[in-house]
Amino acid sequence: MTAATPPAPTVLPIPRGLRPGDTAALVAPSGPVPEQLRTQAVEAFTAWGLTVEVFDSVTARHPRYRYLAGTDELRAADFQAAWTRPDIAAVIAARGGYGAQRMIDLVDWDAVRAAGPKLFAGSSDITALHAALAHRVGVSTVFATMPASTHFDDTAADSLRAALFDPAGTRTVQGPNARSLVEGRASGPTVGGNLCLLAACAGTPEQQCAAGAVALLEDVGEDLYRLDRLLTQLLRSGWFDGVAGIALGSWTACGDPAAGTVEELIVERLGPLGVPMVWDLGFGHHRGALTVPLGVPAVLDADAASLTVNP
């Protein structure tokens, strides 16, 4: 029996931007949040003129699995409560880690969908929630360095702030080391995120493919053979079938020079797709990482090594 083809991504509605005085919810769908970084997150959003409400998951620890921010039920309940409260304009994942997939099926998605669109930001393990919101709610989201991350410096904060206060604005994503791997131009909605989580979402209800889309890929701390396996899985599962272009982020602490470079592996695995591809556009796991919205129209100009969103 042949598995059903996952749906292709489409351009999704963009929630209204934040305004000073709005309330933003800080939640922890995955890993626990150190107190110092929690303070950093609250101070950053407060400085933007926002009211910050810290939900219980942000200060919680799972009683047995210390890599989780509280129980699955607590993390799901916090996410749902934050989304469905009409006084909250944005839901922000404090950090990644691991655990988002464990709580997705505990969320009342009918209630979340009925509450309407609102801004959501996060990255890394939060890739699973981006996919769930695209599939179950039909709303664009923001792939960004999280405010309780050690990578959240002034550049990352400014990029996130721009995306939250003007989500429909046109902006160009181009890091200082961006360069073309395969020339050409491609357009389509943005989709993707963390490579490991994209592979982990294979076979789940929220899995999409990248047909007709500009696919975003990045990761952190993975050996070269693991990246090879993840890319190969997505290739074999058909995730890349019909992809319009590929926008690559950072690969912090990935690979082993003795085994070859990540760039060489990506060219070997994805180059035969023959679509425009840009290396190191500046998003991912590193200080100064840029924000990229998901589910919005974009143009990848590999000749200029840039990605323009909401063109």
Q: Which residues are catalytic?
A: 124, 218, 285
H/E element, 170: none
Q: What is the DSSP letter of 306?
A: E
H/E element, 178: none
Going across the sheet that includes 88-93, the strands are 51-54, 23-27, 88-93, 119-122, 141-143, 292-294
* 206 torsion bin: left (phi>0), alpha (psi -120 to 50), beta (else): alpha
What b-and-e string marks burial along 77-104, b requiring 16 or more CB atoms within 10 Å of the CB? bbbbbbbbeeebbbbbbbbbbebbbbbb
Token code pair at residue 220: 């952190």
Strand partners, 246: 215, 277
C-alpha pair distances (Å), 258 with each of 35, 218, 223, 255, 262: 38, 21, 11, 9, 11
Number of continuous H segments (helices) and E segments (strands) in the chain: 9, 14
DSSP characters over 194-252: EHHHHHHTTTSTT----BTSEEEEEEES--HHHHHHHHHHHHHTTTTTTB-EEEEEEEE
Cα 164 from Cα 153, distance rounded (Å): 16
Cα 131 from Cα 242, distance rounded (Å): 19
Please list, in sequence order, all residues whose beta carbon lies within 8 angstroms of the beta carbon of residue 16, skipping any fewer than 6 positions away: 89, 167
